[in-house]
Structure 1
Amino acid sequence: MPHSVFVDGAAGTTGLEILDRLTGRDGFTLIQLDETRRKDEAARREALNDADIAILCLPDEAARQAMELLDPDAGTRVIDASSAHRTTEGWCYGFPELVGRTRVAEARRVSNPGCYPTGFLALIAPLVREGLLPDDWPYTVNAVSGYSGGGKELIQRLESGEAPAFRAYGYDMAHKHGPEMKAHAGLKHGVIFAPSVVPAYRGMIVEVPLHLGAMAGEPTADALRSALADFYADSLVVSVPDSSVPSELVLEESAPPSDGMELFVFGNTGGWHARLVARLDNLGKGASGAAIQSLNLMCGLPETTGLRLPAA
């Protein structure tokens, strides 16, 4: 029997990408509201409670309000793509590679990871768990994203001709991704997060520089790369290329959608310094692709069904 799915906020970037991945797929029936009803509370309440699974593609406060529209006895399971519930007790963090596929498959409430935290956590969380990196280190995250993750206002600004070559932000040191990165990496301190945007529509590079020689045990870049390769060995979504160093890592202005993620570890001669880098699509594994991956698991389907992944 098909699973009924309602995407609340389907007119936004993430919602549209999710619908694009679901349209025409066997096993799902989409509950959709026309333009005159999609903001009508009564219509949304009915759709939310009629769905087997609701996917919330809403601002944080609107996502919290949507949860209030749910009848506790309706049985609707939820994937929340906002940041409203990413550190909330009772919610499963929707990163199957880190929390376990079974946990996601059995969850009733799944919070989709943020795009920047996806890259940071993919790199750091396994290494902290293995004891290769300390949980009390003052980590720094330098990251650049395509502008599609900046919301409708930024998209409209850049696509109307106002396209700076580089836009850095988050200087108040209080970005909403901070608590998520600290909590799910198991860190004792918050991270210094330096996000930026370039005039490419999609794509993201997240980098964590490390002074390995100043750490207890002096871990090596090769050991970190090997540990990440082992951790993601059974993943069809996350890959860890070999030790060859590319001349550059780029974000292409018109890159096609991708739901995969690549992790790199670069070390200098002597091993004192390393740069851990994640390259992903902020709208793919960083948003819509992650939601579809969780949806597949929750419905008992192969987790990569409907995902856009590079050929093996």
Structure 2
Amino acid sequence: MTQKPVVFIDGEAGTTGLEIRERLAPLPVTLHSVDHAHRKDPAARKEAMQAADLVVLCLPDDASREAVEMAAELGDASPRILDASTAFRTAPGWVYGFPELEAGQAEAIAIAPCVANPGCYPTGAIALLRPLVEAGVMDAHYPVCINAISGYSGGGRSMIEAHERDGSPAFELYGLKLEHKHVPEIHQHAGLKRRPVFVPSVGHFARGMIVSIPLHLDDLNGNVSGEDLHNILEKRYAGQDHVRVLAAEPKLSAEALAGSDRMELRVHANTQNRQALLTARLDNLGKGASGAALQNIRLMLGLNAA
């Protein structure tokens, strides 16, 4: 009988770590854990890394960098790494863990020693923008503006506790210094030459997300229509299990895909006014976090897709 691959989740007590652990439970893997009392002990963590085939890092950025250095010290015994932080998403030598990014990306993830799991907001923005840039209809210098709303579960323990108390705000804009940590990731992996404006927000609901990008069609190349944009996206994601391109709807609920690992892309166009709105709807903890991690884990360990 083939031995089950060993997976160690460093940071399994956090929101993403707990959900990844739960999702891994029914899979043919062995989960290796560090006793809770020693979960921050470098020696215990290093020992767990040495015992693992794959280490999943669910840590803050600086802690992830330290963990990667710790793993590198193991030399030939160093495990493969899937990092869920922002630390390595634009770093040389790391494969970006968005299997639908381009042809061959899933195969690159499958053999990579180090994979950076995408951010939730960038997953939607990149999925919408990159095919248009690659098709030549959107110039890489287009002044992209991205608006997005997420459920509060993506904000960590303090935000979750705040929103689960009485009197929490129904809606908040944040990142208003326009320096959100996801911007470099979107900038690079969408293929943009001009830094996008990104305005995130959080709503008083637990899970779900909508990323929206308004466009002036006359500022695109080739006199394109909303239907043309839809067709480019539809062709790009044809046959993908986790990304679907659907018809426009009169209104969208951010919570509709809560608990799902799918992402829905749409083009909402006004032909007369030559305007369009691109939208991506996903679960911020699904395709936007632990669902994406599970997709990458399956690829890295050679497990059949669900």
Pairwise TM-score range, normalised by the shorter structure: over 0.9
Q: Which residue of 2 aligns with 1:132?
A: 137
Q: Is 1:246 the equivalent of 2:269?
A: no
- Post-superposition Cα deviations, 1:262-291, rounded to whole Å, max 9, x if no partner, equal 000011033610000000000011010111
Q: Which residue of 2 aligns with 1:265?
A: 267
- Post-superposition Cα deviations, 1:249-308, rounded to whole Å, max 9, x if no partner, equal 01339x7411110000011033610000000000011010111101111111233x2xxx
Q: Which residue of 1 aligns with 2:119?
A: 114
Unaligned 5+ residue runs, structure 2?
A: none
Which of residues 179, 182, 187 in structure 2 aligns to 1:182?
Answer: 187
Contact 1:133 1:219 in 2 (8 A): no
* Amino acid paired to 2:84: A
TM (normalized to structure 1)?
A: 0.93
Contact 1:10 1:16 in 2 (8 A): yes
Contact 1:56 1:79 in 2 (8 A): yes
* Amino acid paired to 1:211: H
Q: Counterparts of 1:197 and 1:226 in 2: how far apart (Å)?
A: 31
Contact 2:261 2:287 in 1 (8 A): yes
Contact 2:217 2:223 in 1 (8 A): yes
Question: Which residues of 2 match residues 1-312 of structure 1 at below 5 A?
Answer: 1-25=3-27, 27-70=28-71, 71-99=74-102, 100-242=105-247, 245-252=248-255, 256-270=258-272, 272-303=274-305, 305=306
Contact 1:221 1:271 in 2 (8 A): no
Q: Counterparts of 2:277 and 2:80 in 1: how far apart (Å)?
A: 39
Q: Secondary structure at the match of 1:36?
A: helix
Q: Counterparts of 1:256 and 1:162 in 2: how far apart (Å)?
A: 23
- Post-superposition Cα deviations, 1:213-261, rounded to whole Å, max 9, x if no partner, equal 123322211011011111111100000113xx323101339x7411110
TM (normalized to structure 2)?
A: 0.95
1:35 shift after superposition: 1.6
Contact 2:19 2:290 in 1 (8 A): yes
Q: Counterparts of 2:182 and 2:75 in 1: how far apart (Å)?
A: 29
Q: Counterparts of 2:159 and 2:193 in 1: how far apart (Å)?
A: 34
Q: Counterparts of 1:126 and 1:257 in 2: how far apart (Å)?
A: 27
Deviates more, 1:293-302 or 1:139-148: 293-302
- Post-superposition Cα deviations, 1:63-110, rounded to whole Å, max 9, x if no partner, equal 001111111321400000000000000000000111421111111100
Q: Secondary structure at the match of 2:115?
A: strand
Q: Secondary structure at the match of 1:230?
A: helix
Q: Counterparts of 1:205 and 1:252 in 2: how far apart (Å)?
A: 9
Q: Identity over aligned residues, as a percent? A: 49
* Amino acid paired to 2:137: L
1:50 shift after superposition: 1.4
Contact 1:48 1:54 in 2 (8 A): yes
Contact 2:208 2:258 in 1 (8 A): no
Q: Secondary structure at the match of 2:271?
A: coil
Please provide the CA RMSD for this pair. Answer: 1.3
Unaligned 5+ residue runs, structure 1?
A: 306-312
